[in-house]
């Protein structure tokens, strides 16, 4: 796909779906700003594409000033921002009875406030230009609640609500919104699970259903970005064929 006319910011780009999307869009010729807490990982991606226009930023999505710096510097460099992809997220699942309040707080800050920080930083530019697209990684867990994943599901249901509200508020400004909801996918998300039983369950589930690879999710993001101006892919759910939930 030729995306050489697109300026794309990817938050949470250092691994998994974010890294796979960065690589795919670089091949498509997009102008990229990639951001994450691990700058070395981002620079490795940049080094793979010496002929591409890729800016790298160390940023924590829970800090609005970090996110705003990425967006502002992107506009300074490329003159505009066409797409923001909010991809950062964690999934420390555990039973509610364990009361892991620190984990809950981290999920709220990264999974929800990370998305809101991105919207707050990018939307003024897009609204003024009356053009743009905001994409957020959601989850099948944002559509179906399972035991031991109540808080994680809650954050992902919240992302769905926020993104649909954004869609309605900004439709007249021609701003597209997209949520991408993966099923079981082989990413470092499993590493954010601190409960040993839950981590084993997630990894076994991935193996049993023939889980997806990050590159497969990246293709859905690519498709949504490549649509014509009058077409917006509002939601896409991508499950392993054998995943019933």
Catalytic residue numbers, as ranges: 152
Residue with tokens 């950062």: 88
Phi/psi at 136 (5° precision):
-135, 140
Triad 68, 137, 160: Cα angle to 5°: 95
Q: In what order do the strands lie in the sheet with 83-86?
A: 54-58, 31-36, 7-11, 83-86, 132-137, 175-182, 235-238
């Amino acid at each position: 796909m030729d995306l050489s006319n697109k300026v794309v910011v990817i938050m949470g780009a250092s691994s998994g779906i974010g890294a796979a999307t960065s690589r795919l869009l670089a091949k498509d010729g997009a102008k990229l700003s990639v951001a994450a807490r691990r700058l070395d990982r981002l620079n490795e991606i940049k080094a793979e594409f010496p002929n591409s226009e890729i800016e790298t930023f160390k940023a924590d999505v829970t800090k609005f000033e970090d996110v705003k710096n990425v967006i502002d510097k992107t506009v300074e460099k490329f003159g505009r921002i066409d797409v923001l992809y909010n991809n950062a997220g964690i999934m420390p699942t555990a039973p509610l009875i364990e009361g892991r309040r620190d984990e809950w707080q981290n999920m709220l800050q990264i999974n929800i406030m990370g998305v809101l920080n991105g919207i707050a930083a990018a939307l003024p530019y897009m609204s003024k230009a009356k053009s743009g697209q905001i994409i957020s990684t959601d989850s099948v867990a944002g559509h179906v609640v399972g035991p031991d994943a109540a808080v994680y599901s809650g954050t992902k249901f919240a992302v769905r609500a926020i993104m649909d509200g954004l869609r309605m508020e900004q439709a007249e400004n021609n701003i597209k919104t997209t949520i991408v909801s993966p099923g079981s996918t082989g990413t470092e998300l499993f590493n954010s699970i601190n409960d040993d039983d839950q981590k084993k369950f997630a990894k076994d589930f991935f193996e049993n259903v023939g889980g997806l690879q990050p590159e497969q999710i990246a293709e859905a993001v690519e498709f949504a970005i490549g649509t014509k101006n009058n077409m917006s892919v509002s939601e896409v759910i991508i499950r392993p064929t054998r995943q019933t939930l």
